[in-house]
Structure 1
Amino acid sequence: MSGLLTFGETMGLVTADGIGALDRVRGFRLGIGGAESNVALGVARLGLPATWIGRVGRDATGDLIERRLRADGVEAVVIRDPSFTGLMVKHRRTGALLHVDYHRAGSAGSRLMPADIPVGAVRAAAIVHVTGITPALSDSARAAVFQAVETARAAGVPVSVDVNFRAKLWSPYDAGPVLRDLVSRADLVFAGPGEAALIVDGPPLQGLAALGPTEVIVKDGARGCTALIDGERHTVPARDVVVVDPVGAGDAFAAGYLADRLSGAAPAARLATAIAAGAFAVTVPGDCESLPTREDLIAATTDVTR
C-alpha cells in the first residue's frame, strides 16, 4: 500500500428517528461509525487508497462493518475477536441537543493490540493516521497507537493525529498528558479549540506547533478553520449549510485534507477540500453516509445544499 493507514474501533450505530425522549421513538436506523474508519471511507471516496485495521466481534454487526468498508473501497483488515462489536446509540432529545451513548467497555475493538498492526504496513504507508480515541479504550489499544507511531517515525512516514477527545471515555486530567505526548510525535495534527486547550496553553496554533507538528489545523465548526502549515498561516471560512447531524463532520474534514495531501495538492487546496467535505457530512444523518466523492465536490462550486 502507498496511501492512508489507520486503525481503531468501528461500532454499530443505532440512530433514533425523530426528536424526543428515546423511549418515545418508534423508528431506528442501523449503520456504522468510528472516527478512524470514517476517515478511511472519506479518503477512499475521494479516490485515494485507504486501509483500516481493527477488531470486530463474530456477530452480525461485525459482518456489517466489514461489508460496508469494503463496499466503499477501503482495504479493511478485519480481525475477528471473541468479544462483541461495540455499539453507539444516537438520539436527539431536542432539536438542538444530540446525545451519543457508547456500549463499548470490553468490546472487540477495545482489545486492539500492537501485534494487530503489521510493521510492514506501517512502513509502506504514505500517511499513518491515528486519533485520541483509541488510546482511551484500553492499555493494549494505547500501546498499539504509540508503537505504530514510533514505527512510522523511524521509517520516515508522516504521522497524522486527530485529537478527538471523548469525555465519556476519559477525563481531561487523564487525557491531557497522553494526548500531548501523542501530538509531540506527529507531523500533522487536527484539533478543536477546546481539545487544543487540553494540551497547550495560549493560542492553539502556535502552542501545538511548538510541540513539533509542521501542519497544525484547528477545526472550529461554523467558524471554519485556521491552520499553520510549514510556517504559513491560513484561515478558511465554513460553508453556509443547514446542519442536520454534526457527528462525523470532523472526520470528513480530516479525510478531505488527507486525501488532497496524498494527491500532492497545495495547502490552500487541502483546506478548501476539507471544509467542503465537512459541510457535506453535516447535511444528512449518520457518521459516514454523506462523505463526498470528487464528483460531489466538483458539483458544489458555491455551496452545499440538499
Structure 2
Amino acid sequence: MNTPWLPLTGPVVCIGETMAALAPDPPRPLQDAESLRLSVAGAESNVAMYLADHGIPVAWLSALGDDALGLRVRTAVADAGVDVSHVRIDPHRPTGLLVKNPLTAGTRVHYYRSNSAASALGPELLEQEPVRTASVLHFTGITPALSSSCRRLVTRALAAPAGERPYAISFDVNHRAALWPAGTAPAMLRELADRADIVFVGLDEAQDLWGAKLTATSIRELLPNPRILVVKDGARAASALTEEGIRTVPALRTTVVEPVGAGDAFAAGFLAGLVRGLTMTQALRLGHVTAVSALKVTGDHGTLPGTEEMERLLQIPAREWEVLDADQL
C-alpha cells in the first residue's frame, strides 16, 4: 500500500472516554434483573485493544475518576496490552458509567457521564506525550459530543492542514444521537470528518445524518478531503475510497451474538493493515476478520484467529473469501 503520508514511527494514540458498564446477567429487562455484570465500554479503547492484539504499538489517552470503577477500566485496558501510562486520574470527577437495559425491541443504553472525568478533556492533551510522537491519532464522533472542551480538543487536532500535521488523524463518525443537541450533529460531524486523513462511516449512519439516498460514492462527494474514506455497509461489505479509486470487500458470514463493538474492531483491523503497509484489499479484509471476533462475543472484545490463519485469510483468492464461513475459523 502506498501511504507515504503515514508516519512509520510512533504509536497509534486513541483518545476518548471509556466507561464502566453494567448489564443484566443473564440478559433480561433491567427492572427484572437480580444480578449485573460489570465490564468496560469505550469506542476508542476498543480500537486500542484490538490494535494491541494485532501487535501494533498503541496508547489510550483519557481521564478517569479516582474511584474503583476507574481502576477497573484502567486495568482492563492495560491488561489488553495498551499503554495507559498517560491516562489522567481526576480526584474531583467520577468515572463515566453506562447501564444496558435489554428489551424485546432492542437494548436501551442509559449513560451516566455528565461531568465525568473524561468530559473535562481538552486541547492541552495535544501538547503532551504520547501525542507529540504519535504516528496516528484516532478519534470518534462521540468525543466532541461530550462537552465544549472535548469539542475543542477534536477541533484543534484537526485544525492544521493534513500535510502540516506530524501525525495522521483517523476519525470514526460513530454518531450517538442521544449525546448531541437536536439538529447539531450532521453539520459538525461532516465538518470534522472532512478534515481527517482516514474516515470510517456506516452507510446507514451517513444516510441518517446527511441524506437517505446516499451511496458510497455520493458520501465521497460530501467528504472529498480524507485520503481514505471507508464506508461500511453492515453485514454486506466495506469499501475504501481513495484518489486511486474504490476497493470493495464483502463482509464475512458469521453468527452474530451481539453487534456492539464490531465497528470499533473493524476500524482497528483496517488501521493495523495501514500501519503494516498491506494493500487496501488486505486492510479491508483485516477489518472484517477483526469485526467478526467482536460479533461472536457478548462483550466488546473477542479473540482474533492465530497469526498463521490470519495471514492465510489475507492471501486467499477473492472467490474463496466470498464464500467463507467465519463460524468455521
Give TM-score scaled by structure 1 length: 0.91
Shift of 1:270: 0.3
Change over 3 Å in CA distance of 1:151–1:72 after alignment to 2: farther
How large is the RMSD of aligned CA atoms in angstroms? 2.3
The count of residues paired between Structure 1 and Structure 2 equals 304
Change over 3 Å in CA distance of 1:212–1:220 after alignment to 2: same
Shift of 1:252: 0.2
- Could you say what secondary structure the match of 2:184 adopts? helix
Q: How does 1:175-194 map to 2 (within 5 A)?
A: 175-194=185-204
Give the fraction of aligned pairs with identical amino acids, expressed as a percent.
38
Shift of 1:250: 0.2
What is the aligned partner in structure 1 of residue 45 from structure 2?
37
Change over 3 Å in CA distance of 1:270–1:286 after alignment to 2: same
Give deviations 1:64-114, integer Å, cap 9, x for gaps.
Answer: 1111111111111210111110111123212x6122221111111111111
For residues 129 and 50 of structure 1, what CA distance do their matches in structure 2 show?
10
- Could you say what secondary structure the match of 1:217 adopts? strand
What is the aligned partner in structure 2 of residue 104 from structure 1?
113
- Aligned to 2:292, which of 279, 287, 290? 279
Larger radius of gyration: 2
Q: How does 1:52-67 map to 2 (within 5 A)?
A: 52-67=60-75
Shift of 1:196: 2.0
For residues 220 and 131 of structure 2, what CA distance do their matches in structure 1 show?
24
Shift of 1:134: 0.2
What is the aligned partner in structure 2 of residue 255 from structure 1?
268
- Aligned to 2:99, which of 89, 94, 106? 89
Aligned-partner residue type, residue 257 of structure 1: F
Shift of 1:243: 0.9
- Could you say what secondary structure the match of 2:62 adopts? strand
Q: How does 1:119-130 map to 2 (within 5 A)?
A: 119=128, 121-130=130-139
Change over 3 Å in CA distance of 1:105–1:2 after alignment to 2: same
What is the aligned partner in structure 2 of residue 295 from structure 1?
307
Shift of 1:7: 0.7
5+ residue gaps in structure 1?
none
What is the aligned partner in structure 1 of residue 237 from structure 2?
224
Aligned-partner residue type, residue 178 of structure 1: M
Aligned-partner residue type, residue 235 of structure 1: T
Does 292-301 or 184-193 show the bigger shift?
A: 292-301
**Pair 1:304 & 2:311 matched:** no
- For the 8 Å contact 1:88–1:100, the answer to whether it is kept is yes
Change over 3 Å in CA distance of 1:255–1:139 after alignment to 2: same
Aligned-partner residue type, residue 260 of structure 2: V
- Could you say what secondary structure the match of 1:6 adopts? strand
What is the aligned partner in structure 1 of residue 319 from structure 2?
none
For residues 90 and 253 of structure 1, what CA distance do their matches in structure 2 show?
23
- Aligned to 1:203, which of 215, 222, 225? 215
Change over 3 Å in CA distance of 1:205–1:160 after alignment to 2: farther
For residues 271 and 260 of structure 1, what CA distance do their matches in structure 2 show?
8
- Could you say what secondary structure the match of 1:173 adopts? coil
- Could you say what secondary structure the match of 2:109 adopts? strand
Give TM-score scaled by structure 2 length: 0.85
For residues 181 and 303 of structure 2, what CA distance do their matches in structure 1 show?
30
- Aligned to 2:169, which of 139, 153, 159? 159
Give deviations 1:221-251, integer Å, cap 9, x for gaps.
Answer: 2112122133321222222111111110100
What is the aligned partner in structure 2 of residue 136 from structure 1?
145
Change over 3 Å in CA distance of 1:181–1:294 after alignment to 2: farther
Change over 3 Å in CA distance of 1:185–1:114 after alignment to 2: same
What is the aligned partner in structure 2 of residue 265 from structure 1?
278
5+ residue gaps in structure 2?
1-8, 314-323
Does 83-92 or 193-202 show the bigger shift?
A: 193-202
